[in-house]
Amino acid sequence: MALQNHPQIEAAQNEAAFSNQQIVEARSAYFPTVNADVTGSGANYAARIGAGFITDSRLFDRFGAGLNFTQLITDLGRTKNLVASSRLQAQAGAQNVQATRYDVLLQVNRAYFDVLHANALIRTAQETIKTRQTLLDQVTQLAQNQLRSQLDVSFAAVNVSEAKLLLIQAQNTLDDAYAELARALGTDRVVNYQVQEEALPPSPPVRPDDLVAQAVANRPEFASLRFSRDAAYKFAEAEKDLKRPTVNAVGVAGYIPYIDQLTSQQIPAEYAAGALNISIPIFNGHLFTARHEAALDRAMEADQKLRDEQLRLSRDVRLAWANTSTAYQRIDVTAQLVQQANLAVNLAQGRYNLGLASIVELSQAQLNQTQAEIQNLSAKYDYQSEYQALQYTIGQLR
């Protein structure tokens, strides 16, 4: 749904389509330019020269139509380099689409696991309320029979209220998670989807070195910068080619159905001509030199951006690997914590029933149990989310 609807992906695709049209624009220089002209004029007899630019053509009353033709023969490599630069920019645009796709997928995955996490918190809160309400009912009955004090009832009631607050917070977290999921899916309509649990992914690798190499090879952002760097160097070569001669073939042809009768015997009704024009740059105030130097500076800037991106990728992979490894280790630790907390609650409950412990000891044991369960849930879903982030970082997110 996100890949079909998300505006970020559609915007990236439009940008890529724009880049593809730049190739067509650059290649247009290889094809001839043909224009049609229709001209009608009136002039005083035998007029030749007017103010401003000097012209050798005589002016007559006439009406005619024709075609003019221009074809580039060679510009000694400039158009070729411009086309190559445009192609590389288009490839960079395609990689940007893939990078945007990865961004959206990561948002969806994280929002998905946040919904699962919030649902699990709600179930934990509901179970906690049920357990503590049972204790409150038992203590209330014992207090009515003068077997427990009213203070015990107050402690048990406070515990129930805390569990209800936990449920309210969990429900708010779930609402936030559904809102984030809707945003990740590219829609403004929040739907409370019934999401399915996902199996835990495999353990992360022992060392991140191989992951860094995968990121450099697979990450679309790095590939995009590499194509942009190459495009910048091609454009610099094209700007250098401005100093070289340009050869064009030109031609005109047409028909004049009407011309002043006094001159019609001297000028034929049909006309046609062709020429080869060579334009040689000599001096223009160092304009072409400045353009080449500016393009070369941009290309060298792109070199440094690519190097900086490689350093950033290495850092991001190592951080993602460290976060994933830490989250994975927390799963076993928190599972043991839950086991110990459950045991402590059972012992505290038994001691309380025998009158060997106070309600404070039992309440603290229940609180530790709830916190251990929440930490264990967080560890599981945090690992799933961090694993997706690691796959994103190395360019393997699907």
Domains, the chain: 2-31+75-244+281-393 (1.20.1600.10)
Q: From CA 335, how far away is CA 319, in angstroms rounded? A: 25
- Give pLDDT < 70 ranges for the chain: 45-59, 261-265
Q: What is the pLDDT of residues 45-84, one digit of tens each?
A: 666 656 666 555 566 778 889 999 999 999 999 999 999 9
Contact 212, 310 (CB under 8 A): no
Q: From CA 360, how far away is CA 139, in angstroms rounded? A: 13
Q: What is the pLDDT of residues 1-42, one digit of tens each?
A: 999 999 999 999 999 999 999 999 999 999 999 999 998 877
pLDDT at 295: 97
Residue 135 contacts by C-beta under 8 Å, 6 or more apart in sequence?
A: 156, 159, 362, 366
* Cα distance between the two ends of the chain: 14
Contact 280, 206 (CB under 8 A): no
Pairing type for strands 62-74 and 246-259 reads antiparallel
Cα dihedral across residues 229, 391, 327, 332: positive or negative: negative
**Tokens at 277, concatenated:** 């024009």
pLDDT at 262: 59
pLDDT at 174: 96
**Which DSSP helix (H) or strand (E) runs through 69?**
strand 62-74
pLDDT at 192: 92
46: left (phi over 0), alpha (psi -120 to 50) or beta: left
pLDDT at 269: 84
SS3 call for 62: strand
SS3 call for 70: strand
Enter the DSSP assignment of 285: T
pLDDT at 87: 97
Beta strands (DSSP E) in 241-293 are 246-259, 270-279
Please tell me the pTM assigned to this model: 0.85
Mapped to the 3 state alphabet, what secondary structure does 15-54 carry? Answer: HHHHHHHHHHHHHHHHCCEEEEEEEEECCCCCECCCCCCC
> In Å, what is the CA distance from 311 to each residue of 24, 204, 228, 316, 317?
35, 22, 18, 9, 10
Q: From CA 183, how far away is CA 339, in angstroms rounded? A: 38
pLDDT at 257: 86
**Which DSSP helix (H) or strand (E) runs through 65?**
strand 62-74
Q: From CA 283, how far away is CA 73, in angstroms rounded? A: 23
Contact 256, 267 (CB under 8 A): yes
Q: From CA 129, how far away is CA 26, in angstroms rounded? A: 70
pLDDT at 259: 79
Instruction: Classify each residue of 339-370 as buried b or exposed e, where b means 16 or more C-beta atoms within 10 Å of its C-beta.
Output: eebeebbeebbeebeeeebbbebbbebbbbbb
pLDDT at 263: 56
The vertex-253 CA angle with 249 and 259, nearest 5°, equals: 145
Q: From CA 351, how far away is CA 346, in angstroms rounded? A: 9
**Tokens at 143, concatenated:** 């207090």
pLDDT at 62: 80
Pairing type for strands 62-74 and 33-41 reads antiparallel
